[in-house]
Amino acid sequence: MGSVDYRALAPQILDKIGGEANISALAHCATRLRLNLKDESKADKTAVESLPGVIAVVQAGGQFQVVIGNEVPILFEELTRISNVGGSHTSVAVDEKGPKGNVFNRFIELISAIFQPIVWPLAGAGLLKALLAMSTTFGWLNGETTTYTILNAAADAVFYFLPMFLAITAAKRFKTNQFTSMALAGALVYPSIVALTESVDPVTFLGIPVVVMSYVSSVIPIIIGVWLQGYLERSLNKLLPHWLRNFMTPLLTLLIMVPLLLMTVGPATTFAAQGISAGVNFLFSFAPWLAGAILGGLWQVFVLFGLHWGLVPIMLNDLSTQGFSLLNGPLPAAVLAQAAAGLAVAIRSRSAKRREAAAPAALSGFVAGITEPLIYAVNLPLKRPFYFGVVGGAIGGAIAAAGGSAANQFVFPSILGLTAYTQHGSFVLQLIGTGVAMVIGFTLTFLFGPREQADAKEEDATVPTLSSEAAPTAGVTDTAEIAGPVSTGTRTVTLATGTKIALGAPVAGTAVDLTKVPDRVFASLAMGRGIGIVPTDGTIVAPVDGRVAVAMKTGHAFGLKTDTGVEVLVHIGIDTVQMKGEGFAARVAKGDLVKKGDVLCEVDLDVIRAAGYDPTTVMIVTNTTNFTDVSPIATGTLVAGADAALVTI
């Protein structure tokens, strides 16, 4: 399929499935494009199957599946380039009809998806804030000048008006009118609404008391607002006649949603933040180290939910009344632990895109105390770096608070901001606590954080060398001899015609004829010949020596290429791409060299079955037509690694 023009194929597929407007979700797995169509009757299955590069079309599980083969990521990229479905930076788009993970994982996925499109503006603005902070700290720029005012506006605008940016991305996520969403966000940060926070008179709406708060830089209120907006808009569009919808739907949406948010979400957020603040303040007087551990550990969690704004007024009040704020003491540890974890990701990750996001975002955290780009683009999606940062913040915060460390001015907790902690409490313990937090965040992430796989389109600059033991002789039966040189991992082994290469079973279980596998594409042999196995064990191993050419992020499929040119696909379960990685733990990444029997993945078979999927594992040679024959040789019970199929050169 290498000669297929996928740039030309993408618009043809769009046209024959009813156009972009007929797609509700777009994703891909190891070999096929998966589309959820609004109206399948608009799709011409026969016409799509006749297109060059399309192997087959399967309609199953509510999806229109276009089988492409190993080059499906290229087609996916082309489709997302010419349309607004799928997302141009994701390998697998969200499929809302598939099984869901636990609530916390779904929340992380939601927040990450909403923030991903604005990560780079946040990172760039954060770096500009860092430069401004450095310039004023070292006296290079006077903070009272109009030059500083202009530059600060450029740096701070994206944070100040963050609800409006989030309104756009949330509207795409929740399928609402994004301009109505922006109007909703604009009302939250409207100057007269912000000014109400300073009002000495009671604030009411139609006589109903309103608890006011500032929504500047807030996160959760607008996300909740746009989510509710989606339900309201859909209901109004059903109820209103078509000649009224265009203007009445946004009118009624704003009329209902703005007061609703100001009277419900705002007060709920405020009360939650005030309750947390009161509890933390009590702990500072009762057990400083415990208060420091709680605030240092949870500060970034508060930032995630926007609850940290409830603590800011208390900090400012403390500074104005007593000249210092104990609440600030644990914060450098919390922030810099996350920054250190992000730095470890930048060093450790195999993903170039992740490294590109992590490095500047970590610098923004270190220098300016801006961690939002880091949290939403790096640490939170990867989970463990965020957790390790929380642990470091808790321990470091406890040390700093135990010494009574406090800030004597309101600063962003950062390396530059440490100068504000020299006048109250033990500055030495503040430095020790911050240092310990950074070491914990960095070390735990570096040692135990996920390495990830290389980006789907990233080509390896070099291929690691196979040891002499990795020569493919182990996979050649006694019926033939190797006619070419032993592989070094960079050269191709030449084998005599008639040579037979044994493929091992990728998992222990019961052999199944491939034509009996409950997947029409695999069973049709359109993807290639091989064998199916009903697994009895969750350890998936490499059936041959070779290089990992494909490693799906979901962990459900791996493609291996041997030095002899055999391309083997190991697909774990039927339709398990829908599980989005739940129950799968990949042990290799794209570009890795593996030997026959090396572990590719650990799978929880009970999780697969509980999710309603068949765990039958398929091993096929995707370039079957390049060889004289590919045939299964095993029946009955199989041990992982035992000969299961033969490839005849």
Task: Give the pLDDT band of residue 392 (cuts 50, 70, 90).
Answer: very high
pLDDT value of residue 391: 96
Catalytic residues: 29, 571
Percent of the chain topping pLDDT 70: 80
CA 202 to chain centre: 44
pLDDT greater than 50 at residue 517: yes
pLDDT value of residue 317: 59
For the chain, the average pLDDT equals 80
In this predicted model, what pLDDT tens digit does every residue of 458-516 receive, in sequence order? 333 333 333 333 333 333 333 332 233 333 343 455 667 778 888 999 999 999 998 88
Q: Do domains 6-91 and 468-648 have the same CATH topology?
A: no
Residue predicted with more confidence, 408 or 564: 564
Domain ranges of the chain: 6-91, 468-648
Cα 504 from Cα 353, distance rounded (Å): 35
For tokens 């060299």, name the residue.
Answer: 593
Produce one character per residue of 202-226: b if its CB has 16 or more CB atoms within 10 Å, e if not: eeeeeeeebebbbbbbbbbbbbbbb
pLDDT value of residue 492: 52
* SS3 state at 499: coil
CA 130 to chain centre: 26
Please provide the size of the chain in residues.
649
The pTM (predicted TM-score) of the whole model is: 0.44
Yes or no: say if 35 and 60 are a contact pair by the CB < 8 Å rule. no
Q: Mean pLDDT: which of 73-82, 172-181, 347-356 is highest?
A: 172-181
Q: Which CATH superfamily is domain 468-648 in?
A: Glucose Permease (Domain IIA) (2.70.70.10)
In this predicted model, what pLDDT tens digit does every residue of 88-146 receive, in sequence order? 333 333 333 333 445 655 665 666 667 667 766 765 676 677 678 778 877 888 888 99
Residue predicted with more confidence, 286 or 292: 292
| pLDDT, average across residues 320-345 | 88
pLDDT value of residue 558: 92
pLDDT value of residue 93: 36
Task: Give the pLDDT band of residue 1 (cuts 50, 70, 90).
Answer: very low
Cα 506 from Cα 561, distance rounded (Å): 15
Q: Is 6-91 in CATH node 3.30.1360.60?
A: yes
